[in-house]
Structure 1
Amino acid sequence: TLHVLDTNVDQFVGIPYAEPPVGKHRFAKPEPISKPFPNIIDATKPKNSCLSPIQLSPDSPLSEDCLVLNIWTTNTTALKPVMFWIYGGGLAAGSIYQPEYNGSALATNDVVVVSVNYRLGPFGFLYGDREDAPGNVGFYDQLLGMKWVRENIHSFGGDRDQITIFGESSGSESVSAHILSPLSKGLFKRAIMESGANMYNKDRDVVNKTKALSQGKAIAKQLKCNETEDWIQCLRRADARDIIKYWDLFDTYPVFGTEFLPIRTQQAFNEKKFNTDVDLIAGITQNEGSSFIKAVIKDPAHMTLTDFNNGIKAFDLLGYHNINVTKVTDYYLKGVNTSSPAALLQSFSALAGDLPLGCPTYLFAKRFAQTVKESQRVYFYELLYKSEWFAKQNNCSATMGICHMSDIPFVFGLPLLDPHHYSHNDIYYSKVVMKMWSKFATYGNMDSDWPQLLNDEPMGAPKVHEYNGTALATNDVVVVSVNYRLGAFGFLYGDREDAPGNVGFYDQLLALKWVVSENIHSFGGDRDRITIFGQSAGSQSVSAHILSPLSKGLFKRAIMESGSVMVNKNREMVTKPEALSQAKAIAAQLKCNESEDWIQCLRRADAKDILRYWNPLATFPVFGTKFLPISARQAFKAKKFNTDVDLIAGNTRNEGTSLTRGLIKDPDHMTVADFYNGIKSFDALGYHNLNVTKVADDYLKGVNTSSPAALLQSFSAFAGDLGLVCPTYLFAKRFAQTVKESQRVYFYELLYASEWFANYSQCNISTMGICHGMEIAFVFGLPLLYPDVSTPEDIFYANVVMKLWSKFAACG
């Protein structure tokens, strides 16, 4: 048992799932274990890695006797989803004992993690065109591993009916092979493909049966097998290392037209002959090809146009047949300075990524999505961020971008296991990715705002646009919604006129002016009766406009739904010096020269690179600026805010429940230590100088601290109060105390939620209560737009809320 991230994780390493594939079993399908082991299996020490010319796991000797698997689980009582990992390595290298595939951190996300060894190179993919050497036996190993899991995983706390297979590189290709294979039908429910798919040349596969057979016989010939004897039996007698010596690492491919892969991928999609009952995530890194250039280009740093053309031709030898060199060159060199080695290298890197990884992965996912249509969920991603530490360990320099394999540390939570070497951003990003992967393994979907591939709307019934203003507009009001810049683009602070910070608020301001000054009357709107309203950060924006002298006279009323910019008593969430240093840190990351204008440097940078280094949790308005000259407390004290406004403000009953899971690693097993650490984590989110002892004493008064459920409830109350409830209530209270009876000020608490909207928003009402955001359904009348999934109570409540809001907008 390991103690990982404050969680006990049971680790079982090297559990055999097949008979040793040696002797007569070399090149043959794996055999299930025929009889019980006489002794207890020692699952505390690594066993063998599968034989390969490359040793990737120093703690595990190489051997043909290698068909074992690892398991990580947090408990064996309640059944949890299973994540079945298939490692990469070109089908010629790799091991479950590689340190980067440590599943312990991922297992703390309430999943059981399994990783499987499978035969590699000639031992896994030599094709003999016969029953006892059918080819693709590495895939058969994975298949038998899956069958073992279905039969046994309940003993380790895993749900056999909730298996997600996932892999990277050739592991991702393996996942695609199981999606295609009739032999894998029904063995898994979901799949994640990270950078790879068995979908290459349109006209023919990388290797056909004839070529694969000749490759196998060529090795037999090299080993002096007599032509009159059985060449497979001769190879079975040969020394394994002699076989490896004559096997081309770069020539390890699956063979189609076989029992495991009876038809080509394109044909399988055309005829709908694949496993269609699977949800899928697929994706790539931004610069897949940069890691492979040296395999085909001798001197990348001094690359020439001739090198570029020869590089394309070299791909033909690697199995990517019939490439039209002229067309490919024209496409990838369009607009490129061909006298610049760096420019040629960048273009060739794009080609080297697209050809073997980017295009196959995307096209596989696209054809899958086109075929299964809405019966399954299909998502696609591109990784735009990397860990500098992991990149350095894998020879991925800054000039190479987001290399192949850059996803591995985040999927396996390596930054949490080794925080000394990884950055805070790495840790945050890893938590996000692990939650996404484990959530998909549990529910089969991503977050509601993640669009499906080929369908810009989330899966589910119904497909919801939360901010659809049509129903609200039937209440005799004109509804306007506005886009504004976000994150770094909306709130990066440069301490200068052309980068003043808060420009997202300036966007809202300009839209208000557009509405007020000259346009809304054309749409039937009264410019003198404008109510601004928003929820969460939108509610904070409303409070900012109430405070800002620049927004004076542009609106008559305001509605703040769960949020305001009134947080710390003693200081703002971010000071001007802090905001400036955050911005300059991004410029430093992007190698902006200290002697140049750093803002201009950031303006020239790729927007995605800026996003990569911006911490989304550190997006705050900056006070002491033109838009917000003084803090909220100072403004109320000096009566320097827009006092001529009527106001509704409010919150939901359980604002904090949606925030808790982002701060507490294992809410279902929460401890007092987690409670204290959770309070401390708010400091990093901008809630400074919290007196942890006083807060804990207040929220734990009378609470059974040995009960995880009671601790979670108290922490949720604290998280909601600190982040949303207190700021909203105190803003409204100070506003009302200052304007007195000159304006109308109301406050509400939402005590009811629509169950279908809650489910759509991943809010379990029975355990999480009336979550943050639950008023949205009623404010926008969604139950009236989606009556088939709404209750009569939902519809009634939406009618009431819309009338309240629209009456306030009309009459104050």
Structure 2
Amino acid sequence: MCLSRIDLVSMRLLFLTLVLPSLALCSTVDTPFGEIEGFEHITEQGIPTHVFLGVRYGQAPDVHGRFKKPEMVEKWAPFTHSAKHFGAACIPFTETFLIPDENYSEDCLFMNIITPTLAGKDLPVFVFIHGGGYEIGASNHYGYKRLAERVAAEGIVVVTINYRLGPFGFFSLGDSISPGNMGLWDQTLALRFLHEVLPSFGGDSSRITVGGHSAGSCSASALQFSPHSNTLFSQAILMSGSTLSEFALSQSVVEESKKLAEELNCLDKSTTKTLDCLQERSAHEIIQAVDKIGTTRRHTNILKFHPRFDGEFFPHAIERLAKESPRKRTMSGATDQESAIFVLFEELSFLTGLALSKPNWATYSRENLIDFIETVVVTDKEHHDSASAFRRHLIDFYVEKDEKKGDAQFYLQRFSDLASDLQFLIPLYHEIQIKLANNWPSFLYILQHSAKDSPRDELPVTGAFHGDEMAHFTDSNGFYPVKDGDDEFESFGVNFATALVNFIKNGDPSSPAFSWPPVTKERPFQHASITSKMTLKKEAYRSDAARLWLESVPQSVSGELLRKTRLPGAEALIVHTEFMLLLFSLFLPSLVLSSIVSTPFGEIVGFEYVTEKGIPTQVFLGIRYGQATNGSRRFEKPEMVDKWAPGRIAAKRFGDSCNSFTSSHVPGTTYSEDCLFINIITPKIGKANLPVFFYIHGGFYEAGSSTYFGYKKLAEKVASEGIVVVTINYRLGPFGFLSLGDSSAPGNLGLWDQTLALRFARELLPSFGGDINRITVGGHSAGSASASALQFSPHSNTLFAQSILLSGSSLAEFAQSEMVVEESKELLREFGCPVTSPQLGLDCLRQRTPEEIIEAVEMIGTSRRHPNVVKYNPRIDGDFFPLPITELSKTAPKKRVLAGATDQESALFVMNEQMAWIAAIALGKDEQESFSREDLLDFIERVVVTNEEHGSSARAFRQLLVDFYAGTDDGQDSMVYLQRYSDLNSDLQFLIPLYQEVRLNLRNNWPTFLYVLQHNTRSFPREGFAVQGMYHGDELEHFTDSYVLHPLKPSEQEDHTFGKHFVASMANFIKNGDPSSPSFSWSPISKARPFQHASLAVDMIFKTNAYRSDALRLWLDTIPQSVSGDLLRKSRLPGTEGLIVHTEL
């Protein structure tokens, strides 16, 4: 109920004492969404403000809305939205924090608005995000009265918001279906909604300051950098929290989410099925399950549910985002004893695994502190060979420096210091320095006033605790309420609140009585020390701790390892200090010295990466080898990059990946037409004549990137063996392989890119210690087929000496087909571009954006139900391939070749419906369960051997395949026919083309070592799968940072033994031209034994007969007798002029 102003004139003072907002004056505003009715609140100073509580900004979730991005509320006009009571709070992650009489719901996306006047205009705005470790808290806990008194009354529109918490807001299974960060998307939506309604409340959307405390501060920090939110406000106030804190950005949430799903009996290999199951669980069941698996952990990252790098909200590392984001003025700081409340109060043990019970305060000892350092902060499991030196630094500093032996209070203080440094202070310093490097004006503060009250007097640690400042501008009192009469504490609060208000209004916290300059390169840690007085200090607060973490520790522990453990989220620790002279260059990818190499093109600056075994390697990422291929260069051969000397380029991050279908996009990767980059990993600068491994990624010519394969494991497994490793990008899909079948658009541009990369690498390799006469070109899948093609083309075959072909041949139908011409013409028709005039058609396509082209391809279809599932691939063009492969092989320089396949290549595609976008032969789960002989016969008749393609030969051809793959017995279960279906596709796409190429090599006297990978992994048992064995790509994780279906488990020794055998064979071949080792003799194929091979599993066995000799006999003997070779070349066995049959069969 609202009372009229006339009724209240004589009774105003009485009614001002009433706490129920519904009995106050009505305040009504008209917004683009409809009317909102709030109430008037008069401050203690008699200043009227207008309060609107529980304003809905997000839709109520439907039955399947959990774990999804929020949707903006719909307009409610012509109705009036009542906004006189706080909306429901978002459900916390544990029953422990369910406050009696509090209203909790999943329908909780509400905000509250407090404005000084409804007639105002262009007022500054303060959006406050509550804390609570991303797992607890609500906007109603901060009330509205003191925000009105201390902030809104100063002419500022104040907004507080709810956002989803715990598993409801941050659950993630680590993939694009369940990426996490929903709570951050909620906050972003709240900002977008505000932009719509702020003018109605007098607010200026161009003067928004986003601030928060603790996790709310980390959120504000994150919102500054994400491209989805960084244009929605102009300033930030960060109170005790940075997105660079370990608890604010960690991949550990994925494992915790899986544990939760498992506890609820929902965990499935399919993310979609897992989420569907969780949708069926009640919110109460979910938080009960969290209680069962544990609400916290004894770890430096105490939280279980929080943000993570997802590739979408955070598409890049924070440093890069900071560089690309609009600059913001920032006021940020911390208290001097942040973590004291977490280590001293067992009442918070549901939130922090670091809490000590009060009886333990008196007995806390040196041994307890050292144990914490050894078992929590620096563990052997996480830090390996660096652990001992890392621990020594921390023990020296936190235990032994000025040690008061036997003094429990001393050790408790140091325990609190260590936790505070790790969780709050050092991440704050990181962020300040990143901003300084990018010229963001930043004002730094440290709160150092300790409240005077009896509970604090009993504590062994004194100072300003986490949250002490809240009582000075919100209705929250922090952990301990402040006693009346503490004038110094009140003065401290006035100082802080005044600085806050000044910054919101002016972008500068200074006042007439106190000049507060921002940090500078000369004084990067100067700060305001805020107590009952304001003091500007030019040196860093806890400068010795800053020196420890930003200088001493990085000299013992690589930055790469620190980012994985104690100092996550940053690619660089940028330190400009008065006690250190620019220890590292800006944006150094790790905490090590730069690696600088002088090349014929100019200097290149990379970084050192120390392997887990302590072997130093030098890494150079994102070296441009080709000019950007956009605009007029689209669909043209690549051009080599110009020399940049006397300049210097930074090579510390992967370059952009080449455009590919959106279904293949990986979170955190940028896609572009400016993508021709290589990466070099070398064992040690200064060495000479090292062998080189030039690796080409796969992805069926339509997806993939060198970025996906990383550099760490290539350094660990290959470069550390004395080999220079090179990985490359090349154009994909229509950008790399579009062809109109004539000289204006012959296709094969991706192969020309690879050739240019080889030429460029040969210019650079001597500078990196590589021998250009010892280059081995290798790849996997389409990368292997590319390496195969490069062996034969006269444009590339003199550029390297050896090849490693992992599951791919240029004789495979997907690697060489004229079908690309018709697909390319269909793309032109989709845009209405002329097809009959190729040049005009290309000019028309050049007017389209990459996104439009990709969207058009996806509209047409990215794959086909055909043995050649690939739509854009190489073809015999008369230029890159001036003749058929068989003819080119006769004149190409001889090469030594290591080539092979897995025993179940196509199982990856046929058994995995998530691959349907690239392989239309994929079967869904239901199709697999019911797959029958009739389904297999239908596939043979309608897909493999059609009347249209094979004419009068079709019947005989089909019967041969039916007899071999389907048999005559119709009583088998679906698993038998699924195995046969997989075998047929594996033979067609991988095994038979491999055998054809091997025999071609034998005819031309190329030394060729053949293998078949036959290890059935134990890391992810394929129980219930009809097809067992090694799938396409299973070998990759043994030498790259990529895996196909699931990562290897460290505990599965057999898997690692297999991997060790395989990688050792590969390294031996790269170095010696022979994969043999002292313990295993591996002979090349010979005319007497043309298919002898190494069978690689946990044990290595040499076999003199062919793998799947019956399939070999079928395709290379029986079928050619029934179907002409010319017809086979046009259909199922392209690329050869004849089927070369030398058999022992």
C-alpha displacement of 1:314? 5.5
Whole-Å Cα distance in 2 between the matches of residues 59 and 221 of structure 1? Answer: 31
Aligned residue number for residue 41 of structure 1: 81
Q: Deviations over 1:595-650 (max 9, x none)?
A: xxxxxxxxxxxxxxxxxxxxxxxxxxxxxxxxxxxxxxxxxxxxxxxxxxxxxxxx
Look up the equivalent residue of 1:127 and give its one-letter code: S
Aligned in 2, Cα 1:58/1:361: closer, same or farther, shift over 3 Å?
farther
1:326 — aligned with what?
Answer: 392
Match of 1:83 in 2: 126
Q: Distance between the aligned counterparts of 2:215 and 2:339, measured in 1?
A: 15
**Following the alignment from structure 2 to structure 1, what is the Cα–Cα distance between the partners of residues 497 and 194?**
22
Could you tell me which of 293, 298, 316 is aligned with 2:343?
A: 293
Q: CA deviation at 1:396?
A: 9.1
Q: Normalized against structure 2, the TM-score is what?
A: 0.37
Provide the C-alpha distance between the structure 1 equivalents of 2:209 and 2:466, rounded to a whole number of angstroms.
22
- Tell whether the 8 Å contact from 2:56 to 2:110 is kept in structure 1 after alignment: yes
The whole-number CA distance in structure 2 between the counterparts of 1:177 and 1:356 is 16
1:84 deviates by 0.2
Q: 1:261 to 1:399 in 2, by over 3 A?
A: same
Q: Give the residue type in structure 1 aligned to 2:125.
A: V
Q: Deviations over 1:436-462 (max 9, x none)?
A: 11211111112172121136799xxxx
Structure 1 equivalent of residue 406 of structure 2: 339
Measured in 2, the distance between the counterparts of 1:346 and 1:419 equals: 22
* 1:213 aligned partner: 254
Quick check: 1:396–1:403 contact (8 Å CA) kept in 2?
Answer: no
State how far apart, in whole Å, the 2-side matches of 1:410 and 1:158 are: 23
Instruction: Measure the CA separation in 1 of the matches of 2:378 and 2:533.
Output: 46
Task: Judge conservation of contact 1:100–1:409 (CA < 8 Å) in 2.
Answer: no
What is the identity percentage for the equivalent residue pairs of Structure 1 and Structure 2?
Answer: 27
- The C-alpha deviation readout for 1:166-200, integer Å capped at 9, x for no partner, is 01111111011111211112100100101111214
Deviation by residue 1:354-413 (Cα, 9 ceiling, x = unmatched): 1001111122112212222xxx42110000124446x95x99947432111111122438
Query: SS of the residue aligned with 1:24?
Result: coil
Aligned residue identity for 1:363: H
Cα displacement (A) at 1:143: 0.4
Given that 2:56 and 2:109 are in contact with CA atoms closer than 8 Å, whether structure 1 keeps it comes out as yes
Q: 1:279 and 1:152, CA in 2 relative to 1: closer, same or farther beyond 3 A?
A: same
| Segment of structure 1 superposing worse, 97-106 or 13-22 | 97-106
The structure with the greater share of residues assigned to strand is: 2
Deviation at 1:325, TM superposition (A): 2.5
Matching residue of 1:7: 47
Partner of 1:454: 520
Residue equivalent to 1:412:
474
Of 62, 67, 71, which aligns to 2:109? 67
Q: Distance in 1 between matches of 2:144 and 2:221?
A: 20
Q: Residue deviations 1:535-583, cap 9 Å, x none?
A: xxxxxxxxxxxxxxxxxxxxxxxxxxxxxxxxxxxxxxxxxxxxxxxxx
- 1:771 maps to none
Alpha carbons of structure 1 residues 183 and 487: separation in structure 2 relative to 1, 3 Å: closer
Whole-angstrom distance in 1 between the partners of 2:355 and 2:230: 41
Task: Tell me the distance in 1 between the aligned counterparts of 2:458 and 2:80.
Answer: 43
Q: Between 60-69 and 242-251, report the one with greater CA deviation.
A: 242-251
- Higher-helix-fraction structure: 1
Please point out which of 300, 307, 312 is paired with 1:254: 307
What is the TM-score normalised by the length of structure 1? 0.51
* Alpha carbons 1:410, 1:426 under 8 Å: kept: no
SS in 2 for 1:108: helix
Any conservation in 2 of the 1:59–1:97 contact (CA below 8 Å)?
A: no
Q: How does 1:541-556 map to 2 (within 5 A)?
A: none
Which region of structure 1 is more displaced relative to structure 2, 13-22 or 228-237?
A: 228-237
Tell me, in whole angstroms, the C-alpha distance in 2 between the residues paired with 1:395 and 1:94.
28
Q: Give the drift of 1:11.
A: 1.1
Q: Distance in 1 between the 2:55 and 2:84 partners? A: 10
Contact residue 435 and residue 441 of structure 2 kept, 8 A:
no
Q: Kindly tell me: are residues 238 and 407 of structure 1, through their superposed partners in 2, closer, same or farther at Cα, counting changes over 3 Å?
A: same
SS at match of 1:41: strand
1:188 corresponds in structure 2 to 233
What is aligned with 1:383?
447
The separation in 1 between residues aligned to 2:185 and 2:432, in whole angstroms, is 23
Which consecutive residues of structure 2, in runs of 5 or more, have no partner in the other structure? 1-39, 297-302, 345-352, 525-531, 536-1145
Amino acid at match of 1:302: T
Match of 1:114 in 2: 159
Tell me how far apart the structure 1 counterparts of residues 474 and 381 of structure 2 sit (CA, whole Å).
32
Query: Are the counterparts in 2 of residues 74 and 110 from structure 1 also a CA contact under 8 Å?
Result: yes
Q: CA deviation at 1:239?
A: 1.4
The offset of 1:246, in angstroms, is 3.1
CA distance in 1, matches of 2:67, 2:533: 55
The structure 2 residue matched to 1:283, chosen from 333, 337, 357, is 333
Pair 1:263–1:86, CA change in 2 (3 A): same
Please give the alpha-carbon distance, in whole angstroms, between the structure 2 residues aligned to 1:142 and 1:278: 18
Note the alpha carbon deviations across 1:444-482, whole angstroms, 9 max, x for none.
112172121136799xxxxxxxxxxxxxxxxxxxxxxxx
Partner of 2:466, secondary structure, is: coil
SS in 2 for 1:160: strand
For residues 305 and 257 of structure 2, the distance between their equivalents in structure 1, rounded to whole angstroms, comes to 11
Which residue does the alignment assign to 1:174? 219
Out of 252, 263, 268, the position equivalent to 1:227 is 268
Distance in 2 separating the partners of 1:403 and 1:320: 32
Q: Which amino acid aligns with 2:315?
A: P
Contact between 1:451 and 1:457, CA under 8 Å: does it hold in 2?
A: no
Q: Does the C-alpha gap of structure 1 residues 126 and 101 become closer, same or farther in structure 2, counting only changes over 3 Å? A: farther
Following TM superposition, by how much is the alpha carbon of 1:348 offset from its aligned partner in structure 2, in angstroms?
1.2
**In 1, distance between residues paired with 2:193 and 2:249?**
31
Conservation of the 8 A alpha-carbon contact between 1:194 and 1:284: yes
Matches of 2:171 and 2:521, distance apart in 1: 40
Give the distance between the partners of 1:21 and 1:318, measured in 2 at CA: 42
Residue-by-residue CA offset, 1:239-293 (whole Å, 9 max, x unaligned): 1122223333521221114211122334545xx23x2421001100011121121
1:352 lines up with 2:392 in the alignment: no
Superposed counterparts of 1:588-603, under 5 Å: none
* Matched-pair contact (CA < 8 Å) for 1:32–1:144: yes
- d(CA) in 2 for partners of 1:254, 1:122: 11
Deviations 1:182-229 (A, max 9, x none): 11121001001011112146xx99632xx4433323222211126376
In structure 2, relative to structure 1, the CA distance for the partners of 1:246 and 1:407 (3 Å cut) is: same
CA distance in 2: counterparts of 1:244 and 1:330, whole angstroms: 42
For 1:616, the equivalent position in structure 2 comes to none
- How far is 1:158 from its partner? 1.0
Change (3 A) 1:349 1:172: same
SS at 1:293 equivalent: helix
C-alpha spacing 1:407/1:315, structure 2 compared with 1 (3 Å): farther
Say if 1:317 and 1:419 are closer, same or farther in 2 by CA, change over 3 A: closer
Whether the aligned pair in 1 keeps the contact of 2:253 and 2:305 (CA below 8 Å) is no
Measure the CA separation in 2 of the matches of 1:445 and 1:91.
Answer: 29
Shift, 1:329, TM fit: 1.5
Q: Which amino acid aligns with 2:371?
A: N
- Secondary structure at 1:141's aligned position in 2? helix
Shift in alpha-carbon separation, 1:342–1:387, aligned structure 2, 3 A:
closer
* In the alignment, structure 1 residue 20 sits paired with structure 2 residue 83: no
Query: How far did residue 353 of structure 1 move?
Result: 0.6
Q: Is the 8 A contact 1:166 1:175 kept in 2?
A: yes
SS of equivalent residue, structure 2 residue 279: helix
Q: Which has the larger radius of gyration?
A: 2
Root mean square deviation of aligned Cα = 3.3
Aligned partner of residue 139 in structure 2, secondary structure: coil
Aligned residue type for 1:190: Q
Query: Structure 2 matches for 1:764-779, cutoff 5 A?
Result: none
Query: Structure 1 unaligned runs (5+)?
Result: 459-485, 490-812
C-alpha spacing 1:487/1:213, structure 2 compared with 1 (3 Å): closer
Other structure's SS at 2:205 match: strand
CA contact 2:231–2:326 (8 Å) conserved in 1: no
Matches of residues 640-789 of structure 1 in structure 2 within 5 Å? none
Distance in structure 2 (CA, Å) of the matches to 1:23 and 1:443: 45
